[in-house]
């Protein structure tokens, strides 16, 4: 795992991991959006902000494992900035940090499973639930909000409900 010393919106300087992604805080949970350039991370973040999310970081996210979990922040130079395709770089209200509760790996529409199994990803030694979604599906912001609000139901299929 590559680590770099970067200064972000954390107290003091600690070795942390700077990754390509976008982070918003939605109903008290950080949602880390990952995917290659042009996959729709910033666009999806804007649509999540329409649902009440607050920007934490766009393009680069500094991650730091703490006792309470994985905390994300923007590098100082990018704090409050987001790329809005077709408009440019904009300065928007933002918060300094968020506790990451969900990772969303963005993919093309054909790769989204109808009934995915529960999946996790490990970042900085912290295991987090992970969804694979298409950024430009109309319902993707709602799906992410459901995942944040009801994390215990991620990856459940019909058989799970028949048992209960």
Q: Catalytic: 114? A: yes
Q: Which of 34, 41, 101, 134 is catalytic?
A: 41
Beta bridge partners of 11: none
Q: Which of 50, 67, 110, 114 is catalytic?
A: 114
User: What is the Cα–Cα distance from 98 to 73, expressed in whole angstroms?
Assistant: 7
Q: Which of 20, 66, 85, 149 is catalytic?
A: 20
Q: Catalytic: 41? A: yes
CA-wise closest residue to 76 among 124, 3, 30, 18: 18
User: What is the Cα–Cα distance from 127 to 91, expressed in whole angstroms?
Assistant: 32
Q: Catalytic: 20? A: yes
Alpha helix positions (H), the chain = 41-50, 140-149, 158-163
48 close to 42: Cβ distance less than 8 angstroms: no
Q: Catalytic: 134? A: no
- Taking every pair of Cα atoms in the chain, the longest distance, rounded to a whole number of angstroms, is 51
Catalytic residues: 20, 41, 59, 114
């Amino acid at each position: 795992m590559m680590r770099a010393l970067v200064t972000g919106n954390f107290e003091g300087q600690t070795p942390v991991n700077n990754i390509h992604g976008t982070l918003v805080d939605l109903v008290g949970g950080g949602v880390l959006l990952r995917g290659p350039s042009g996959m729709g991370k910033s666009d999806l973040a804007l649509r999540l902000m329409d649902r009440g999310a607050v920007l934490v970081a766009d393009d680069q996210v500094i991650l730091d494992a703490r006792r309470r979990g994985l905390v994300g922040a923007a590098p100082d130079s990018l704090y409050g900035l987001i790329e809005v395709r077709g408009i440019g770089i904009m300065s928007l209200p933002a918060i300094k940090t968020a506790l990451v509760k969900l990772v969303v790996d963005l993919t093309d529409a054909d790769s989204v499973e109808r009934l995915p199994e529960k999946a996790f990803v490990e970042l900085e030694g912290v295991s987090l639930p992970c969804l694979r979604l298409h950024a430009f599906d109309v319902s993707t912001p709602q799906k992410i909000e459901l995942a944040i609000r009801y994390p215990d139901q991620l990856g459940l299929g019909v058989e799970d409900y028949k048992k209960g």
